[in-house]
Amino acid sequence: MSEPFINHVFVVIVAVILDLLLGDPPGLPHPVVGIGRLILFLEAHLRRVFADARRGGIALLCITVGITCLSAALLLKVAALIHPIFATAVAIYLSWTCLASRSLHRESMLVVDALRKGDLPAARIWLSRIVGRDTGDLDQTGVIRGVVETVAENTSDGVIAPLVCLMIGGPVLGLAYKAVNTLDSMVGYKNDRYLHFGWASARFDDLANYLPARLTGLLLVLAAPFAGLSAGSAWRIMRRDGRNHSSPNSGIPEAAAAGALGVQLGGVNYYFGKPVAKPTIGDHVYPLSLAACHGAVRLMYGAEVLLLAGFVVFATVIYR
């Protein structure tokens, strides 16, 4: 293998290990925070510059992703001029910040721990940190469903998709993906404020996640036996119910997880006080319980480990 490629593989592996062990970098600057602040700044100015909200939203998408890529590339270039080892360390750090498996595990377990203690109000509050739906009136089953759905969906958005980008294009492509994903989470709403202004960000996020979501579904099926769950049911439900979602992508990993766990997801959620009915996903083989939350987390880790192992094997065979 060439030295740059060996370094690239090393960066990806170390970034994954750091994320698995530590989660988000504690007390350190996080690029996604900076991306979020950039989006807020640009939105305020672009709304004044563009009378057409859709054009303003297109500009927001292009400028945000462009600045993110240029900043990451410039930082890596400056680090390389200082010392190659420093450049590798910077690449590892930026790659680490793109991944979210440990943080997603930690946040979901805060909800589970509150439910285990019988503190439903606290569980609703913790859940509100990781979902976009209203949580104030959810019963325990609704809270558990929210955990399972968000872990399954974010296995794609927060773990597999950014990891694929890191494997293909390093920290620059990884952060470009995070910029698109952050744009969607901040302006990709179908409400009066963002229906047109957030249109470009939402559509581009759908495009960016189209292949990763389907890869995630396959990885969840393959990971199911290692998590003590059913691969056959995961495959069957993913094929049957993967399109039962308003998003062209989110239903795929949710259906795979629902099938593996033997639970039913979907139904009515409230957003900004308005009910949104979604088709059901999966069969009600088992009730939604805390065990389903733990199973969803095991599936997430299994999918990530399988993808990393496949990357290492592929790199070894192709570049030997």
Number of domains in the chain: 1
Instruction: Tell me which of 233 and 247 has the higher pLDDT.
Output: 233
Instruction: Tell me which of 150 and 192 has the higher pLDDT.
Output: 150
Q: Do residues 159 and 100 make contact, with C-beta atoms less than 8 angstroms apart? A: yes
Instruction: Quote the pLDDT of residue 190.
Output: 82
Q: Residue 153 half-sphere exposure, CB side, CA atoms within 13 Å?
A: 22
Q: Is the pLDDT of residue 271 over 70?
A: yes
Range of the domain at 289: 3-319
Instruction: Quote the pLDDT of residue 270.
Output: 86
pLDDT tens readout for residues 120-149: 999 999 999 999 889 999 999 999 999 999
Instruction: Quote the pLDDT of residue 302.
Output: 98
SS3 label, residue 50 = coil
pLDDT tens readout for residues 293-305: 999 999 999 999 9
Mean pLDDT calculated for residue range 48-67: 96
Q: Do residues 156 and 163 make contact, with C-beta atoms less than 8 angstroms apart? A: no
Long-range CB pairs of 139-144 (<8 Å, 24+ gap) are 140/115, 141/287, 141/288, 143/111, 143/115, 144/115, 144/288, 144/289, 144/290, 144/292, 144/293
* 93 vs 249: CA distance, rounded Å: 28
Which of the residue ranges 37-46, 93-102, 212-221, 272-281 would you say has the lowest mean pLDDT? 272-281
Give which of 204, 203, 153, 216 is closest to 177, Cα–Cα.
204
Residue tagged 């229906």 (tokens): 195
Q: Residue 150 half-sphere exposure, CB side, CA atoms within 13 Å?
A: 25
Q: Is the pTM of this model over 0.85?
A: yes
Instruction: Quote the pLDDT of residue 303.
Output: 98
**Token duo for residue 169:** 């294009």
* 77 vs 207: CA distance, rounded Å: 29
Mean pLDDT calculated for residue range 186-212: 94
Contacts of 145 (CB under 8 A, 6+ apart): 265, 267, 288
SS3 label, residue 131 = coil
Instruction: Quote the pLDDT of residue 246.
Output: 85
Q: Residue 253 half-sphere exposure, CB side, CA atoms within 13 Å?
A: 32
Instruction: Tell me which of 3 and 68 has the higher pLDDT.
Output: 68
The residue type found at 102 is R
Mean pLDDT calculated for residue range 278-285: 94
- Decide the pairing of beta strands 274-281 and 265-271: antiparallel
Q: Which pLDDT band, with edges at 50, 70 and 90, does 1 fall under?
A: low
Instruction: Quote the pLDDT of residue 272.
Output: 79
SS3 label, residue 189 = coil
Contacts of 218 (CB under 8 A, 6+ apart): 256
Q: Which pLDDT band, with edges at 50, 70 and 90, does 34 fall under?
A: very high
* 154 vs 132: CA distance, rounded Å: 12
Decide: residue 154, CB within 10 A, 0-12 exposed, 13-18 middle, 19+ buried.
buried
pLDDT tens readout for residues 143-188: 999 999 999 999 999 999 999 999 999 999 999 999 999 999 999 9
* 95 vs 163: CA distance, rounded Å: 9
Q: What is the mean pLDDT of the chain?
A: 95
* Ranges assigned E (strand) in the chain: 265-271, 274-281
**Token duo for residue 44:** 């305020």
Q: In the chain, what percentage of residues exceed pLDDT 90?
A: 87
Residue tagged 């100015």 (tokens): 45
Give which of 155, 127, 131, 129 is closest to 140, Cα–Cα.
127
Q: Which pLDDT band, with edges at 50, 70 and 90, does 5 fall under?
A: confident
Instruction: Tell me which of 24 and 241 has the higher pLDDT.
Output: 241
